[in-house]
Amino acid sequence: MNDSMNLKKSTKTNLQKLQNIVAKTIEDEKLMTENLLNAPEEILTKGQKISDKVASFGGSWAFIISFFIVLIAWIIFNTITSKRTEFDPYPFILMNLILSCIAALQAPIIMMSQNRQEEKDRKRSENDYLINLKAELEIQALHQKMDLLLEEQIKILFESQAKQLKILESLLKESKK
């Protein structure tokens, strides 16, 4: 009867330890879970929206092909037409000026978009880090639970072995009588 009371007491203590581990784990993870579940909405300014659109169009095949077609048409028009109707003769100085202006404006706009994308990537990697940290905490809690369960099992095995030893000793004494 004393052994059953000890077993109940031990089980109660074991359950209390497990509950404490679970409560601590939940408390540690609360901040991370809040961060992951309630990610802030991205609010874009008009300039940011424009820079994203310019960057996505400027880096596409549609832009390259259409730009190539416009340049070919420009060159053909200015070389075939008469001197009166051509507006940019052979060295194509106006075309070079326009190309330089497009490049000068397009580069910083694309860089603005890339900077925003870099910020998004940084936040995404931060989230990944938090998820990995949360997983690590859960694994650590599982290890603690397993250690606690193994410790309890070892105690039960030692108690069982002690009981068996007492029974064997009593049987040995009885057999000697």
Domain ranges of the chain: 46-176
Residue the block writes with tokens 């105690």: 155
Q: Could you tell me which of 133, 152, 113, 110 has the C-alpha nearest to residue 13?
A: 152
3-class SS at 114? Answer: helix
Q: What is the pLDDT along the chain (177 residues), one digit of tens a residue?
A: 566 666 667 667 776 776 777 677 667 666 555 555 566 677 888 988 888 898 888 889 999 999 999 999 988 888 888 777 778 888 889 999 999 999 999 899 989 989 988 988 988 888 888 888 888 888 988 999 999 999 989 999 999 999 999 999 999 998 887
Whether the model pTM is above 0.75: no
Give the residue from 110, 106, 102 showing the smallest Cα distance to 52: 110
Asked whether the beta carbons of 29 and 140 are under 8 A apart, the reply is: no
